[in-house]
Structure 1
Amino acid sequence: MGNQCQWHLWLVLAITCFVSQNYVAGELERVHLKAQPRNGNSSKGDGFLGFLVVGDWGRKGAFNQSRVAFQMGKIGEKLKIDFVVSTGDNFYDNGLNSQHDPAFLQSFTNIYKSKSLQTHWFSVLGNHDYRGDAEAQFSPFLRQIDSRWFCLRSFIVNADLAEIIFVDTTPLVKSYFLNSDNHTYDWRGIIPRKRYITNLLKDVECALRESTAKWKIVVGHHAIRSIGFHGDTEELVNYLLPILKANNVDFYINGHDHCLQHISDTNSRMEFLTSGAGSKAWRGDMKKQRREGLRFFYDGQGFMSLQLSQFDAHIAFYDAYGTVLHTWNVWKPIFHSSM
């Protein structure tokens, strides 16, 4: 895919409420991104959109995090990316202890230093993030430290070509509430859980139903389909997947399993993409069941890129040395209707 347009993105809608203590159904917070072509023409035309995806990374540079970050910088420069998506478990092992936790600098600012990565980072929380002060990651104070950082429980990035809905999947997983394995989770703003989940799914369904974007993308921490260590997430299969299929979502992107993975849905156009290999990875952990639709699996460290145009999407997975491991093209019908 060519890169005929350089997109310069900026926030045009201020987020007025970073922390919701009592989540109720309503329109999800939106970030609107605008762009200008490289040639200065005010008309965006067809345009292009490109971004990197990395997950499960925050280990202060250890377990190849720094190596992955370096290669992300090189690929980001080559592709002229517009932003970075983080699929959660941003800070190990137990999230941030407060908005003043030095781990934010040690695992984020001081690691992702390449010029091409000095752009927006849109992040969701993972289960490890909930083991600390989860709400610290929503704090505007972190954006004062590093203006790239943007994290909410659930929100929408509207980038003209695509709408990307970030979904807080950790509260959907019942086992964290039943068996904490001696971990303490920060459930502020989540309890009562049933009401939180009902409202969240209602908002996601409404946003997808009303979207007219060319590409519909949903990002969460937990996998819907995976042959990795954790495998499929039953609650997402039961409650979130039907909503995604009913509303013609193109890509579901997640982390959680420390691998790179691509699975095509067998009865829809949706692609399941796992990018949870930003640092520590599990070597040799692969489930043998449910391999239908499997296109690619790699259990080492790495990241992925996604480039979009009006007509096609190009997916690529990279290892910690920048080697391209797997690519895939998805074509969008010319007369496609997202309604």
Structure 2
Amino acid sequence: MASSLNQSMLIIFVVGVFCLFFATPSIAELPRFTHHLQPQQSLHLLVVGDWGRKGTHNQSLVAHQMGIAGEKLNIDFVISTGDNFYEDGLKGVDDPAFYESFVDIYTAPSLQKTWYSVLGNHDYRGDVEAELSPTLRQKDSRWLCLRSFILDGEIVEFFFVDTTPFVEEYFTDPKEHTYDWDGVLPRGAYLSELMKDVDSALARSKAKWKVVVGHHTINSAGHHGNTEELKHLLVPILEANDVDAYINGHDHCLQHIIDKNSGIHFLTSGGGSKAWKSDVKPWNREELKLYYDGQGFMSMQITKNDINIIFYDVYGKILHTWTISKDHNVAAWI
């Protein structure tokens, strides 16, 4: 489908009650990484978010079950949906929290694969450049974190999007928190360029499947609920470019919503550690296929024809399964 943002047009978007106007410069390329398929022509991966608590709040238990599932599925890599280090990100590249919350927690042999990670709002409360630094990859070769980038899995492309700068409240009412906005300001220009880059990359993609990954919720019955800035600014781009799924964290739960109009699957995997029990809002049951208010994670098996999704709890119990088909949606949920 044609790009939803004309490259020569004037970008107009709303932040709060203010309309911001930015002329579009030339489109840049998002960083791209490639994962070549194994002979079976399928990808296997785990997705976890909101985890970095030095093993507490059941983080270590979730990590243990991830190791078991990862071995069974022979995963290719792990996706982290952000809030990688609580409460306030990393203090620097030598912060021991990198070991205490990541290296020394996810020790299972099956998890010694690349972790493709985005930043969450808690990560932005620390030294962002430290979390993005190649120095961390030298400390542990699994770690790969950028603001926004593309992972090309041949039959699928994952588009990782830096969602924290979309949220106006972090700028206008940060409360007691301090955010590291180096590399983001001026905010309007940053968001304008990012939206153009994502739109252009999605429009050019020839992959069978298109999956977008961000930290913040778009549609959610959880504590944070919908992120209105993303609904207004990012969703039109997802819909115009036939995106199959949006994966996020932020709400500390496991959740599956299928938008009845667009058909996009909204998959929340934010149960890597601390969860919020019984914190759920009413939602259309035709759309809400799973809401689980505990810790856990998600797996995906992707082939040319199907994406098979499984949600697991902290004990490894399967909570929900679903198959997304290119021809039609096939439900197999628990």
Question: Do both share a fold (TM > 0.5)?
Answer: yes
Paired position in structure 2 for 1:110: 104
1: CA distance between counterparts of 2:283 and 2:324? 26
Partner residue, 1:269: 263
C-alpha displacement of 1:289: 4.9
Structure 2 counterpart of 1:30, from 29, 32, 41: 32
Unpaired runs of at least 5, structure 2:
1-24, 329-334
Which amino acid in 2 is paired with 1:77? E
CA-CA distance at 1:111 after TM superposition = 0.2
TM-superposed deviation, 1:204: 0.3
Aligned position for 2:130: 136
AA paired with 2:34? H
Q: Distance in 2 between matches of 1:232 and 1:152?
A: 24
Gaps of 5+ in 1: 1-22, 38-43, 335-339
**Change in 2 beyond 3 A, CA 1:288/1:192:** same
Distance in 1 (alpha carbons) for counterparts of 2:283 and 2:267: 18
Per-residue Cα deviation, 1:107-139 (whole angstroms, up to 9, x for no partner): 000000001000010000000000000111111
- Aligned pairs (5 A) from 1:76-91: 76-91=70-85
Counterparts of residues 235-254 of structure 1 (less than 5 Å): 235-254=229-248
Deviation, 1:84, is 0.2
Q: Secondary structure at the match of 1:91?
A: coil
| SS in structure 1 at match of 2:234 | helix
Alignment of 1:217-256 (within 5 A): 217-256=211-250
CA drift at 1:35: 3.3
Q: Distance in 2 between matches of 1:290 and 1:136?
A: 41
- In structure 2, the CA distance between the partners of 1:188 and 1:25, relative to structure 1 (3 Å rule), is farther
Kindly indicate whether the alpha-carbon contact (under 8 Å) linking 2:37 and 2:43 is maintained by their aligned counterparts in 1: no
1:333 aligns with 2:331: no
Runs of 4+ that moved beyond 6 A: none
Distance 2:192 2:27 in 1: 8
CA distance in 2 between counterparts of 1:24 and 1:268 reads 30
Aligned residue pairs: how many?
A: 304
Shift of 1:24: 8.3
Give the letter aligned to residue 127 of structure 2.
D
- Once the two structures are superposed, what CA deviation does each residue of 1:182-213 show, in whole Å capped at 9, x if it has no partner? 11000001000000000000000000000000
Q: Partner of 2:16 in structure 1?
A: none
Q: In the aligned structure 1, how far is the partner of 2:281 from the partner of 2:104?
A: 35
Change (3 A) 1:291 1:232: farther
Q: In angstroms, what is the RMSD of aligned CA positions?
A: 1.4
1:291 and 1:184, CA in 2 relative to 1: closer, same or farther beyond 3 A? farther
1:198 maps to 2:200: no
2:100 and 2:44 mapped to 1: Cα distance? Answer: 27
Deviates more, 1:285-294 or 1:198-207: 285-294
Which of 315, 318, 327 lines up with 1:324 in the alignment? 318
Aligned to 1:40: none
Shift of 1:25: 4.4
Secondary structure of 1:195's partner? helix
Alignment-mate amino acid for residue 99 of structure 1: V
Partner of 2:117 in structure 1?
Answer: 123
1:165-314 → structure 2 map (5 Å cutoff): 165-289=159-283, 292-314=286-308
Secondary structure, aligned partner of 2:182: coil
Given the superposition, is the C-alpha separation of residues 315 and 192 from structure 1 closer, same or farther in structure 2, using an over 3 Å criterion? Answer: same
TM (norm. structure 1) is 0.88
Structure 2 counterpart SS, 1:122: strand
Residue pair 1:248, 1:269 contacting (<8 A) in 2 also = no
Q: Do the aligned partners of 1:227 and 1:290 also contact (CA within 8 Å) in 2?
A: no
